[in-house]
């Protein structure tokens, strides 16, 4: 196995130091920390958490502080009605006006409570979507890791086939040189040996591609090979859930249910615009003015003010009714989407469970078949050594054993991938890691 990994290193131009030991747990941990899809979903969840405030819902007042000021310099010449004159070539006038205003909506038909509830639901939805993405990413990394393990084990199977072809070729050559066998047996063994070498190169390429795909899922962008586990833990004793239990645990369904709830809240928000709005407005005003000419050379005023405003929507061009109707239809649409997703998830679960059951059965059969293939190979090799068996019989026994190995490794891969899909639908992947 090692010499083929080194051959792959030469093939793809990667230094031997780039090989790295990677367990399944390490791959999952890196995915949870560095996968870009998880990071994007996490950022969206943080955005919704920041938005979920009482101020954003409209509970709190708006307080503003303003300041205006002006100054003018003028050449003033005035003849007053009392017969006096005012002549000032450098008359300076100033005005300073700081102000504090408060606007507070104390009643808006209950809309602020609905908006706060909606913001909370949106935050919960984004949290669900983040968990859905985590489950999906962990599912993909497990399946990709299983693919890398499969490619690695297929390399072992081809290595075994190459070793068997080498032994048969050496025996056939020895018989040919000593006159105990025909040259055609040696030539056939040589052809099989070269074919096995070509097979190994094909699997090496697939192995490199699988490693590269796994790197992308872990948020890495490096050309590297991984030395993965020789085998994966398989759970061949899963029990199916009933559809009501699946409805409760499946994260995708929970996210669609939350979206439908948000649509119903949005419908109530649209209807709340039919109700009156009561707002408090107040402030504190200070005004100071100076004038170099005129009757008032200095003026100052300050004080608080306040008002209560009542707004009743009598007619808005039919827009309030239209918006409420649109929101109601959107809520109905979201309910349909949820029910559709419920049927989709049910079908996905039935398919995943059926495939899992078949994969377990095929795995048990492949285990049994390998024992027979190994025994048959041993018998045929012993017969070939003593000159009783033919090259064709030995070759067929070798091929049968190698195919039995590959079927077993493929069956293990199918069990792991279908087991992973079942656990993903049952929301058990990330939870089990915790």
**More confident of the two residues 289 and 416:** 416
Lowest mean pLDDT among 57-66, 224-233, 361-370, 414-423: 224-233
Q: Is residue 188 predicted with pLDDT exceeding 60?
A: yes
Cβ-contact 228, 149 below 8 angstroms: yes
Q: Is residue 342 predicted with pLDDT exceeding 80?
A: yes
Cβ-contact 164, 189 below 8 angstroms: no
Place of tokens 């005023």: 301
In the chain, where the domains are located: 2-58+108-276+312-433, 61-107+277-311
Q: What are the pLDDT digits (tens) for 365-413?
A: 999 988 888 888 778 778 767 767 666 677 677 778 878 888 898 999 9
Q: What are the pLDDT digits (tens) for 162-183?
A: 777 777 777 777 776 777 666 7
Sign of CA dihedral 44, 46, 47, 49: positive
Question: Phi and psi at residue 298, in whole multiples of 5°?
Answer: -150, 130
∠ Cα 384 386 392 (to 5°): 20
Rounded percentage of the chain residues whose pLDDT exceeds 70: 87
Instruction: Give the architecture-level CATH label for domain 2-58+108-276+312-433.
Output: Up-down Bundle (1.20)
Q: Is 231 helix (H, G, I), strand (E, B) or coil?
A: coil
Note the pLDDT of residue 12. 46
Domain at 61-107+277-311: CATH code: 2.20.200
Cβ-contact 402, 157 below 8 angstroms: yes
Q: Is residue 293 predicted with pLDDT exceeding 80?
A: no
Average pLDDT over residues 277-296: 83
Residue 231's pLDDT band, with cuts at 50, 70 and 90, is confident
Integer Cα distance of 125 and 127 in angstroms: 5
Note the pLDDT of residue 113. 96
Average pLDDT over residues 66-86: 75
- Two structure tokens written together for 361: 């059965």
């Amino acid at each position: 196995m090692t010499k083929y990994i080194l051959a792959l290193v030469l093939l793809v131009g990667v230094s031997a130091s780039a090989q790295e030991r990677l367990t399944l747990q390490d791959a999952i941990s890196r995915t949870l920390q560095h996968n870009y899809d998880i990071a994007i979903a996490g950022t969206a969840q943080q955005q919704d958490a920041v938005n979920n405030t009482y101020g954003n819902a409209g509970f709190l007042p708006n307080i503003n502080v303003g300041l205006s000021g002006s100054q003018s310099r003028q050449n003033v010449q005035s003849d007053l009605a009392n017969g006096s004159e005012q002549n000032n070539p450098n008359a300076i006038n100033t005005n300073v006006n700081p102000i504090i205003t408060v606007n507070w909506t104390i009643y808006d038909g209950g809309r602020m409570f609905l908006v706060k509830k909606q913001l909370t639901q949106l935050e919960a939805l984004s949290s669900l979507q983040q968990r859905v993405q985590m489950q999906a990413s962990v599912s993909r990394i497990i399946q990709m890791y299983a693919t890398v393990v499969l490619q690695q084990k297929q390399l072992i199977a081809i290595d075994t086939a190459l070793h068997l072809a080498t032994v048969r070729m050496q025996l056939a050559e020895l018989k040919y040189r000593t006159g105990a066998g025909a040259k055609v047996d040696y030539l056939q063994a040589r052809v099989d040996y070269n074919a096995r070498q070509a097979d190994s190169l094909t699997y090496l390429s697939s192995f490199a591609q699988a490693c590269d795909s796994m790197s992308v899922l872990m948020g890495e962008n490096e050309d590297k090979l991984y030395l993965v586990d020789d085998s994966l833990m398989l759970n061949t004793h899963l029990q199916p859930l009933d559809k009501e239990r699946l409805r409760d645990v499946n994260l995708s369904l929970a996210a669609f249910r939350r979206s439908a709830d948000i649509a119903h809240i949005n419908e109530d928000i649209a209807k709340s615009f039919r109700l009156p709005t009561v707002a408090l407005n107040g402030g504190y005003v200070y005004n100071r003015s100076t004038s170099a000419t005129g009757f008032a050379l200095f003026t100052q005023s300050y004080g608080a003010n306040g008002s209560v405003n009542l707004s009743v929507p009598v007619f808005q061009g039919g827009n309030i009714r239209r918006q409420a109707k649109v929101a109601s239809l959107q809520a109905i649409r979201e309910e349909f989407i949820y029910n559709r997703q419920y049927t989709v998830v049910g079908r996905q679960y039935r398919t995943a469970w059926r495939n899992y059951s078949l994969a377990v059965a095929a795995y048990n059969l492949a285990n049994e078949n390998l024992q027979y293939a190994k025994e048959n190979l041993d018998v045929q090799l012993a017969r070939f050594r003593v000159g009783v068996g033919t090259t064709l019989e030995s070759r067929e026994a070798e091929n049968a054993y190698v195919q039995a190995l590959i079927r077993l490794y493929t069956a293990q891969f199918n069990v792991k991938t279908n087991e992973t899909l079942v656990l993903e639908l049952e929301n058990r992947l990330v939870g089990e890691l915790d």
